[in-house]
Chain A
Amino acid sequence: MSIEENKEYTPKIIVFACNWCTYAAADLAGLNHLEYPASVRIIRTPCSGRMDPNLVLRAFNRGADGVLLSG
């Protein structure tokens, strides 16, 4: 890595995480201090069944670079 590097492009990722599995897994990742980029932001959902496609579109619409739906 060179010293005069520009700030690297880091995509903004929105995660929709099911409360019962993925959200708990993200907590577990925390418990084990597993590192991942800070540009990942997690939104808790009660279940992936709750996910409406409109929410994904909304996230892209508002500037998210990636959306992860996990449950």
Chain B
Amino acid sequence: MVAVAQHPNIQLMTMAEVVNVDGYIGNFKVTIKKRAKYVDWDLCTGCGTCMEKCPTKKIPDAFEMEMGQTTAVRFLYPQAVPGKPFIDAEHCTKLLNGKCGVCEKVCPTKAIRYDDKDEIVTEDIGAIVMATGYDLFEWEKAYGEYGYGMYPDVVTSLHFERLSSSSGPTGGKIQRPSDGKIPDSVAFIKCVGSRDDTKGKSYCSRACCMYTAKHAYQLKDKHPDSDAYVFYMDVRATGKGYEEFYMRSQKAGAKYIRGRVSKIYPKGDKLVLKTEDTLLSKPMEVEVDMVVLATAMVPAEGAKDLAKIVGFTTDKDGFFQEAHPKLQPVETFSAGVYLAGTCQGPKDIPDTVAQASAAAVKVLGLFAKNELATEPMISEVDYNKCSGCEFCVPICPYKAISIKQLAERYHGQQINRRVADINPSLCQGCGACLPACRTTAITLKGFTDEQLVAEVDALCL
């Protein structure tokens, strides 16, 4: 992380979102909205006095999965990069009702800016890499049998990560959220939302088998007397060293039980899991102190809209669509736009890193050239024939067709006529616009109607 921030060739823009993309490969114009931080990061030294003194201290900390509390002016987390704080406008009393101003008073470099505004910038860009990642499936909305999120001790694996992290809300002690008790037993349930057509997603999220093995291992490592039960459908440990790790977790004492949990209900301060051991064909009930759900990976919030802005497609689950599942796994249908990581589909860290480097190579391959040759076998509009009906515009899968105004003289008068215009840098020469053109104004160079008809005639006669 620090390597990224310190690299002279990398410009970081945090709290920022891409709001518009124009142009084409090699020549994108990208509009970015930089959200107000209310802190001048050029002046701020990251000393943290503001966070220390901020009187609004009871905000549920989203970074800690709301298991901890934080302040209105804060670092996202203590090791944040860049190491500069921002003000949470939704909770800051100064920004909400004008009272307070403590951080401004205590800041030694006078870096606080309550009048900071969102800023829009436009950047010239040659290639775009999408790396928007994933979010966790909202199991609370789908899994009534697990309590719709009503039981505080039924958490997700990301909660468990925070609980076992030495920088987390419990300092690395695994304590259950409801009463802080170190659990005597924890149940890990895999495939919550994954591989579940009826309530969740049909796909496998690919990382859960391994991180669940890791969680069970961590529990046994930290609290050897605690029991770790893993409820699973299959164990998919297909990466290098994965099967060995899964074995290590079992050797450490994790108990693997093949079966779906059909119900979780509270009993005293315990949770009871109703399930079946399908290897023994025996229904069973297990009492535990805490339940960790390995929830499915889903595309990050807003991914679909972003795909639309940048100009490529998403698949049935909302992940970004690669140009070819085997041969072009990091390209999109938009030239100059590449994919890296879980935004393309669920994957674990090694695969993410590999794909990210692959995307970088694609960008570098493009940047190795000074100029880009465009394929000449592309569509062309005969403006004289074009009626400006716009039928071709939505048909084009590459957003290559736009409408332009053509200034013409008509009966001695100057008029503006609307015609379709094809951007030769975006057009991939598929010809989908031709059948859509009612006035045959569009031709595809190298595959004209005339040529295809000549071929048909030559073969048939």
Contact = CB atoms under 8 A, between A and B. Distances in A.
Given A43-B455, A45-B431, A59 B447 contact: no
Interface stretch (A3-11, A30-38, A46-54): A46-54
Interface string B420-461: 000000000111101100000000101101001101110111
A43 B453 CA distance: 10
Nearest to A59: B456
User: Secondary structure of the A side of the interface?
Assistant: mixed
Interface residues of A, number: 19
A46 B377 contact: yes
B378 to A, nearest CB: 10
Contacts of B457: 58, 62
Contact of A50 (B431, B456, B460, B461): B431
Nearest to A57: B456
Nearest to A62: B460
Contacts of B459: 14, 41, 43, 64
B456 A14 contact: yes
A62 B455 CA distance: 11
B456 A49 contact: no
Contact of B431 (A47, A53, A58, A63): A47
Contacts of A47: 430-432
Contact of B432 (A50, A53, A55, A62): A50
16 contacts: A14-B456, A43-B452, A45-B447, A45-B452, A46-B431, A46-B447, A47-B431, A49-B395, A49-B430, A49-B432, A50-B431, A50-B444, A53-B435, A58-B453, A59-B460, A62-B456
Interface of B: 377, 395, 397, 429-432, 434-435, 444, 446-447, 449, 452-453, 455-457, 459-461
Interface of A: 12, 14, 41, 43, 45-47, 49-55, 58-59, 62-64
Q: What 8 pairs between A and B have smallest CB-CB spacing?
A: A50-B431, A49-B432, A62-B460, A47-B430, A41-B459, A52-B435, A63-B460, A59-B456
